[in-house]
A and B are shown apart, each in its own frame.
Chain A
Amino acid sequence: MSVPVTVIVPVYGGLDDVVACLGSVVRHGADVPIELLVIDDASPQPEVAVFVDQFGEQDHPIPVRVLHNPQNVGFVRTVNRGLAATKGDVVILNSDTQVTAGWLDRMVEAAAADDVATVTPLTNFGSICTIPASVIDAFDLAGDAPRIDECAQFVARASLGLRPDVITGVGFCMLMRRDAIDVLGGFDEETFGLGYGEEVDFCLRASRVGFRHVVEDSTFVYHHGGGSFGESRRLGLARGSAILHGRYGFFRPANRRERTENPLAVPFAALELALDTRDPSRRQVLHILHSSPGALGGTEKHLRSLIEALRGEYDASILFPVESGFVLRTMWFTGDGPPVEREMLFPGAAGRVDKLVDDVAAETLRAVLDVDHYDAVHIHNLIHHSLAPLHALEDFDGQVVCSVRDLYLACPNHWLLFRNQAACGIPEDLEVCAACLPPTRGMAREDLEAFRGAVGDHIDVVDHWVFASQSAADYMLRAYDLDPGRIELIQHGAIIDVDRARRPLDPALVTDEPLRVGFVGMGWPKKGLDVVNRVADRLGDTSIEIHHFGKLRADPSPRVHVHGTYDNEVLPELLDLSGIQVVLLPAPYAETFGHVLTEAFVAGRPVIGTSYGALAERIRASGAGWTVDPDDPESVEALVRALDRHRPEILRAAEAAHELVLRPVAETAHRYAELYRRPDDTEPATAGATAPTEGEPRR
């Protein structure tokens, strides 16, 4: 029979802890040969000695020996006595611990390699081996009724089994291989007296001769902590630390490095991840976004609203680029509370994606698809992802939905502005593009052809192309021959609270006040700042005021009243406070939807908008405004002057705006829910089945 592993439990008082400790060792036993050696170090309480004697005399599933020191000699000498009294591997087990099922077998397995000197399990109180606070809380390990066995089962199940190396073991429960004991001797009892630091000293001596120390990260041993030595703990630790740092000059920097490198970071992250698992019966959608989902842009707000609206049916994860790679944010819903949110970083260099198909982006998406199950992938914006998602999704077995929020897929210069000045409308003659792309994107005509070729080759990866306006679909169709059966028109819906913000335009404001025109959105030429400036300058002879709301990225005319950045949610109030009667959106860029247009309508304001793209489409359908050519500022000026003279026309258009059906994003969500389902999935829609479309009157 092989030499047993001896579990040495030095005892000095603390009867309750001792009872629990010894009981746990004999109860859980081990498959490997095991014996228990209890050494009472002349405990001051007589009942302790009586108990260990009785315990030794009882029948147990494992052999039990009991020794008594004739006088108190301290922890270290007691352990050394135990080492001398045994022949095989040993586990030094503090008497205020409780072991758990399978503990010794796994520790012995972890010690199988010849160069391992010590093995330490995880615990709730044990230096670097202390499990995360969230796990301690989850199993009430700091309370009066710790759920020790449950925690041990959880750790065994959730562990990655990485068994990382550490500088030193931790003494609450440390397996010491006999090979190491034979080479190094036992603990240094002359130096470390009553304890604290002796196991570190042993480990550092072992490391010097080439031994390693590992953590058995799938085993949990409960440690009551401090019970064996009471108040002397703090002083003992300080003294031991001073000796160790004096003896081993490398220990302090090595220790510091271990704290920052933290070999247990990944094992502990795995435990924390396992605390809140996703309900696998729920569906999940992976959203691909170009920026942080917390950003204030319309796309980000729309996505947040969409995820919230679908929380009853779908969990969500969002993949977005950051400077150091790609972040996956999970949002798992349970009940009505906030979702379980986690963020994972997949390293790369997202900020420098400049290839047609970025390998890092592709591999990241494949990894993301590997680490969880998704029923659908919804592409919201491919900027900073390159075309990699279209490649990586080739073998994806769920639904792929692509919302065309800009025309990036038609042209990398997604503003569709020739040399960033005038709308190009996606010309058929690529010679036009050859004159535009070099200065705007540093690309040649051949690059555009390669880009469109790459998109075209993977066009069928997308099961559903979602456009928020017909005009956006028309633009895309100029570049690609999309399958009409895959095209969906779903207006975005309002990203602000329509019920709260909806208001009519005050007629007195229109009839009694100077005309005030509000230019809303990013203040730069692509959104029409040049047009606005020229109009403002030419209206200098009138009482008409031009106001700007939004961030400025170019200089406005001195005649423009600048209000600065704003939150969409309060735009209606801002327009009221500033006395704006008409909103002006003269972007040469062809909008694919126009959230600002929706917000202007919510505020009861008629809109002067660009004569093409989604703005024109929606304004014409609603009658709640007028369209202008941004290439012709004089015509914009003429229209504004005409409106100033004919205020009833403003009132008419304002009434049309107020009467429009304006739906929140939530009322469009059921359309997406349908798209996310596989064709063979017949689950009925969950929300807002037949909402009317914008443009229909509310009455």
Chain B
Amino acid sequence: MSDDRLRRQLQAQAVVNRQLHAQLAEVTAELRAVKGNDANTVRVLWQRIESVLPRSVASKVERRVRGALGTPAGPRRARPARPAARERTETHDWLDELHGTGPLEDEPTLVQDPEGDLFVIEGSLRRPVPRMIVGALLTAEMGQPEPVTAEVIGELDEGPPVDLLQAPSGPPFVIVGGRRRPVNGLAIPHDVEDDQAERFEEGRPLRVYRLQQAVAAKRQEGTTSSAAPAATVVGRIRARWPG
């Protein structure tokens, strides 16, 4: 390629760089203007970033933009070769709903239904606790779950699950009682590259849910003998309801 052509290619590439940079600056400015609690707006703007920037560029600026946001609302981008833990939109919906209530005055209550499923009761919401590890953490913090009947659980509105979330910075957290509760000391997998992982033959999977089932069964055995009167919990829950 001639010097002239190389020169023109460099100029053209630099023009494209500048266009991308201008688009990024525009969207970043909009993001900066967004209040940290406006997750819907953040989501829309984030989609704009992804639509205007090549992935190679977007990935480089992602951390910086998230830092500018100062909010966990920016969705995590799943690494291509790994399954996404959760749908982004689903997580955003949780965050929107939970933020709408703000910090709660009354302490949430950890309960367990006859099936052994755990819930956190917040106001008139029942929030399922789908993960064993979260259930264990909450139990350690909030005490043993109070048993409730299926009817009582059925009367409550289904709320977002109490699940692990993670922002670009800071430790993982759960949202309980309208507050972000950091989870310290959680085991985090070590990142390795695909080719490193693929050097090993794949064996039978280890399934977390089996552990979860085992612990739940054990917990149910224990709760049948130490159950507090269900009416107490129901009365407390109903007492919080308006009217």
Contacts and interface: CB of A to CB of B under 8 A. Distances in A.
B10 A371 contact: yes
A347 B12 contact: no
B81 to A, nearest CB: 15
B9 A344 contact: no
Contacts of B14: 328, 344-346, 371
Contact of B15 (A261, A344, A370): A344
A272 interface: yes
Contacts of B17: 325, 344-347
A635 interface: no
A267 B12 CA distance: 7
Given A345-B21, A367-B10, A371-B10, A273 B15 contact: yes
A347 B16 CA distance: 11
A266 B16 contact: yes
B4 to A, nearest CB: 10
A342 interface: yes
A162 interface: yes
Interface in A126-173: 158, 160-162
Interface string A330-366: 0000000000001111110000000000000000000
A338 B20 CA distance: 25
A682 interface: no
B54 interface: yes
Interface string A308-331: 000000000000001011011000
Interface residues of B, number: 26
B8 A273 contact: yes
Interface string A248-271: 000000001100111001110110
Contacts of B51: 256, 260
A274 interface: yes
Contacts of B53: 260
Interface residues of A, number: 32
A398 B17 CA distance: 28
A370 B7 contact: yes
Contacts of A272: 15
A269 B12 contact: yes
A293 to B, nearest CB: 14
Given A344-B14, A345-B17, A270 B55 contact: no
Contacts of A269: 11-13, 15-16, 19
Identify which of B14, B19, B20, B21 gathers the most chain A CB atoms within 10 Å of its CB. B14
Contacts of B11: 269-270, 273, 344, 371-372
Interface of B: 1, 5, 7-22, 24, 50-56
Given A272-B15, A345-B20, A347-B17, 10 more contacts: A160-B8, A256-B51, A260-B50, A260-B52, A261-B55, A269-B16, A270-B12, A327-B21, A343-B22, A371-B14
25 contacts: A158-B8, A160-B12, A161-B5, A260-B50, A260-B55, A265-B16, A266-B12, A270-B8, A270-B9, A272-B15, A273-B8, A324-B24, A325-B17, A325-B21, A327-B21, A328-B14, A343-B15, A343-B18, A344-B14, A344-B17, A344-B18, A345-B18, A346-B14, A370-B10, A371-B7
8 residue pairs, one from A and one from B, having the closest CB atoms? A344-B14, A345-B17, A269-B12, A345-B18, A270-B12, A269-B15, A261-B54, A343-B18
